[in-house]
Structure 1
């Protein structure tokens, strides 16, 4: 894999090459073996006792956490020096995906290994790492991440939990509360955020037996019922000064960068859930008969399976492309150096924008897939005996976890614009160059899809999507300047444009890369069809979205002029999507599972 130029957000202004991305087809034998170990653990240990876990059996969950530690699952992100495996993010994403069918237990593991353990991995002192990481990697101790408060959710920096240094300088005295803390019922180590002297947002490592620290009752949730979710209370809780994580006032660097990893890993977990939903739905559709036929033979049911499979392929392409980018960014980070934590923060922040894109796309695609899965199951899909009902309920939290999708949509364009204003990517220059091109009386190039290369049209659509984003986004910046962040409807629409661009480009690059491999060249029709289907739908969304933004920005003759340019940029003859869906669904129905290649 060659290194892409620039960094985060670059996909908007530049084109990447297939050899610059990581795909599932690049997995090593070691990565595949690790995934098989996790898959066997889920099938052998977790699924037979899933009903007990779902009843919130703490003792059983902790028992299985210990087993997960034994097979290395809990130490995947922990450096080898501290008892872990020290795996790259591509490997840990694969493990997260593979664990997803473990449902609530998968969430308990994800909270522990990700947002619970990573703050110490990236920002802990050598002493803190030696003290806590080995036991967290083995499962002897279980971690939780504590950010949300009754009065601060999306506005994390509005936290009111307070920390004051004791007179003897040996402890911080914590007062306040936290809300909706995953793993709270059985966690031993809590990463807690508080404001020192009510001002300086900071992070602390808090142990369960700390005097003055107590845990409230379980919340009664819509889904993920087998995971523990409880509030925390601090009443003059005395936290030793050497439990401060990072520096006073630098807690935001820990909180937000760990959330970036959490968003990316959430997308990987959703990917595993998507594949399970397809397997359940295709299998049921092949068994259920109506009017003397299996319902999988009916075009409307088959069409649903085609769309479910396509969204999964797109998400899979995005997740592993992003894992590769993060791995490259972290390559030069030495966590054993005094500045290692700050290096890690900068490396992770480089692709914060892509992490948010992954989170939004995956959580909404997952919801769409499980919703259609319930529909395919009909009345059975509403009955708890069928796993699809559980997936439907469990999925809903993903659009709230790790920053709501609304917050992430606001972050995506805002992060891009900040990078541009810092000179980190030529966004403004490219937008200005496009304006000059659009003012040129020469006709704009239009699509000329080639029957000889089925990826020509998706490639042309991707180029058009990038131009439309620069055109509409550039106009929005011209009209509103830095006040654009207040125009949340416009910002959210621009975020959706960026999501479609990243999604389509990821799938297109993956499909092109796979076509170059002799071992998979014979099975290329499926990824080509899915890439084409997504491209056709993306260009339709771009037209609707852009017309809406332009109507907000312009009026009268100026609006008509902009709409005319938009029409020329998106002038593509529609494809017969029913043919694409029939081919995609036929393979899914035959395999009774997700089919990528």
Structure 2
């Protein structure tokens, strides 16, 4: 168990390419699952995309029932509760490929399988699981998650909804208001968070909902939203709603813990749910670029368009690489805990919690990449991209919510660095030792030896190591200067987070490609090599910029000069790549294959 890399350790421990899970490592079962999900998406969702844009909530519900019949709603649910009992990577790839057609269905699916079902499978009593989970896994019932309130968004624990115990101690009476509740319009069960008396933390409850017998529950009208138009989103009002005491989820005051752990899982699955949307957006853009003639030639022949396609592909490739790397790490950790005798509940909770830093990193990076990808998709389509007649404008609108879901990207940026520092304080990740070594290195004379870069990615991996030093230099000095007050310096935390994000994403793309090159030969993966190098090139620039922003915010005089000099040293290539040539290599493959083909 101790040999398994812990969450956050990527920063201080070298990862070998053989030890990362990649999409090329899907086993036969996973390939079958991927293909059956893609078939469902093409037949039921993509072919009826217009229904989702016209707010056909009934069709969303109908498709959710079909997904239940096919077993997709129960992929993560243990077999004893009616699910397929598959591993964490299987649940991720289901989220990935089911997201490709429309954000409306992806949201309904994610809300039901994740925050609607998972809190019961992970925190429920045996009686609760037997009573509710089989219905949720089959699609007989649908779930929703009632956490957000008008005055409690990012500050989830500040909710005002109250739960009052009856005089006979047999029921709770819930009063309050929830908003932005996905699946509210067709759910049969709600995970509701309320405060008992003046408890410090909220408590979770399983609340059944039957429109014929509403039990004090009323729903607001459907919200009219920028995107995810046929995802049911309503306010939910509780007026003396009676809930049996046995429907409390976990213990009293443990609702905040449930909410936070549900968000960890939700974050990595949200990243996965942006991946196939990117692939399909890129494929649509490539097809249009090959068909659209201007100046007597397809626009796919123009360098400006080819640059866009290449950049879109490189981001998608890095997102895939990082998401499945983290998913593989989580599954490995879960399996190790099960082998040690942990229950499924405990193993999954602790496995995901271990990699909460990576979950936050992925949520930010991939949600921003899908927005950029769909935006460039519109640009490639030109005026047609702005029209509802093409899929690009709906892709752009649907993508926008991803930066707000599961904790805003600003919250997740600060969380990623904050959680890393807490892990260091607990001794789970040794940041102090490496940070001190970096400080010593800054005082020493740099080496002027000519390094040997004959092996694939030798320079890139050395550069990744230096980027890690840049982060340790900035974050280490910031912690020394501010100590526990660091969390008050949000702009500094945001800059450090961007450095951390780019390190994980760039390293993941490099490791995946190195593994691929070893199995298929470098000559057969030259486009993947180009994408990994292109992503790293941008990561170096971002880390240089954000590092400088961080340093000048807290260091002055000689200390500042020394750190800026170190930053330049840590973000310097020996052999700068030809970015135009890299883009051309990637674009040529995309245009020839007429699709995202990696």
Q: Does TM-score exceed 0.5, indicating one fold?
A: yes
Deviates most, 82-91 or 97-106: 97-106
Supply the distance in 2 between the matched residues of 1:195 and 1:444 (Cα, whole angstroms). Answer: 60
Give the 3-state SS of the residue equivalent to 1:369 in structure 2: helix
* Alignment size in residue pairs: 591
Supply the distance in 2 between the matched residues of 1:233 and 1:14 (Cα, whole angstroms). Answer: 50
Q: How much does 1:57 deviate?
A: 2.9
Equivalences for 1:428-443 in 2 at 5 Å?
A: 428-440=432-444, 442-443=445-446
Provide closer, same or farther for how the CA distance between residues 447 and 556 of structure 1 changes in structure 2, counting only shifts above 3 A.
farther
Provide closer, same or farther for how the CA distance between residues 445 and 139 of structure 1 changes in structure 2, counting only shifts above 3 A.
farther
Supply the distance in 1 between the matched residues of 2:155 and 2:115 (Cα, whole angstroms). Answer: 18
Equivalences for 1:414-433 in 2 at 5 Å?
A: 414-433=418-437
- 1:447-489 C-alpha deviation (Å, 9 max, x unpaired): 8473x33412211210110011111111111111111111001
Q: How much does 1:432 deviate?
A: 1.2
Q: What corresponds to 1:27 in structure 2?
A: 26
Supply the distance in 2 between the matched residues of 1:49 and 1:507 (Cα, whole angstroms). Answer: 34
TM-score (normalised: structure 1): 0.96
Structure 1: gaps spanning 5 or more residues: none
Supply the distance in 2 between the matched residues of 1:292 and 1:333 (Cα, whole angstroms). Answer: 62
Q: How much does 1:556 deviate?
A: 2.4
Provide closer, same or farther for how the CA distance between residues 446 and 90 of structure 1 changes in structure 2, counting only shifts above 3 A.
farther
Give the 3-state SS of the residue equivalent to 1:517 in structure 2: helix
Tell me if structure 1 keeps the 8 A contact 2:100–2:275: no
Q: What corresponds to 1:578 in structure 2?
A: 580
Tell me if structure 2 keeps the 8 A contact 1:454–1:528: no
Q: What corresponds to 2:202 in structure 1?
A: 201
- 1:102-134 C-alpha deviation (Å, 9 max, x unpaired): 311222111111111111111111111111111
Say whether residues 1:322 and 2:326 are aligned partners. yes
Q: What corresponds to 1:489 in structure 2?
A: 491
Tell me if structure 1 keeps the 8 A contact 2:74–2:113: yes
Tell me if structure 1 keeps the 8 A contact 2:456–2:514: no
Say whether residues 1:534 and 2:538 are aligned partners. no
Q: What corresponds to 2:81 in structure 1?
A: 82
Q: What corresponds to 1:139 in structure 2?
A: 139
TM-score (normalised: structure 2): 0.95
Provide closer, same or farther for how the CA distance between residues 497 and 444 of structure 1 changes in structure 2, counting only shifts above 3 A.
farther
Q: What corresponds to 1:276 in structure 2?
A: 280
Supply the distance in 2 between the matched residues of 1:379 and 1:385 (Cα, whole angstroms). Answer: 11
- 1:293-315 C-alpha deviation (Å, 9 max, x unpaired): 11010000000000000000000
Say whether residues 1:167 and 2:163 are aligned partners. no
Q: How much does 1:230 deviate?
A: 0.2
Tell me if structure 1 keeps the 8 A contact 2:292–2:298: yes
Q: What corresponds to 1:149 in structure 2?
A: 149
Q: How much does 1:436 deviate?
A: 1.9
Q: What corresponds to 1:548 in structure 2?
A: 549
- 1:66-96 C-alpha deviation (Å, 9 max, x unpaired): 2111111011011111111011111111111
Q: What corresponds to 1:595 in structure 2?
A: 597
Give the 3-state SS of the residue equivalent to 1:102 in structure 2: coil
Supply the distance in 2 between the matched residues of 1:521 and 1:580 (Cα, whole angstroms). Answer: 15
Q: What corresponds to 1:69 in structure 2?
A: 68
Say whether residues 1:396 and 2:395 are aligned partners. no
Provide closer, same or farther for how the CA distance between residues 445 and 593 of structure 1 changes in structure 2, counting only shifts above 3 A.
farther
Provide closer, same or farther for how the CA distance between residues 344 and 47 of structure 1 changes in structure 2, counting only shifts above 3 A.
closer
Supply the distance in 1 between the matched residues of 2:465 and 2:392 (Cα, whole angstroms). Answer: 38
Tell me if structure 2 keeps the 8 A contact 1:447–1:460: no
Q: CA RMSD in A?
A: 1.9
Q: How much does 1:50 deviate?
A: 2.8
Give the 3-state SS of the residue equivalent to 1:248 in structure 2: coil
Q: What corresponds to 1:525 in structure 2?
A: 526
Tell me if structure 1 keeps the 8 A contact 2:6–2:355: yes
Tell me if structure 2 keeps the 8 A contact 1:224–1:394: yes
Q: How much does 1:495 deviate?
A: 0.6
Q: What corresponds to 2:233 in structure 1?
A: 229
Q: How much does 1:341 deviate?
A: 4.3
Supply the distance in 1 between the matched residues of 2:307 and 2:2 (Cα, whole angstroms). Answer: 38
Q: What corresponds to 1:347 in structure 2?
A: 351
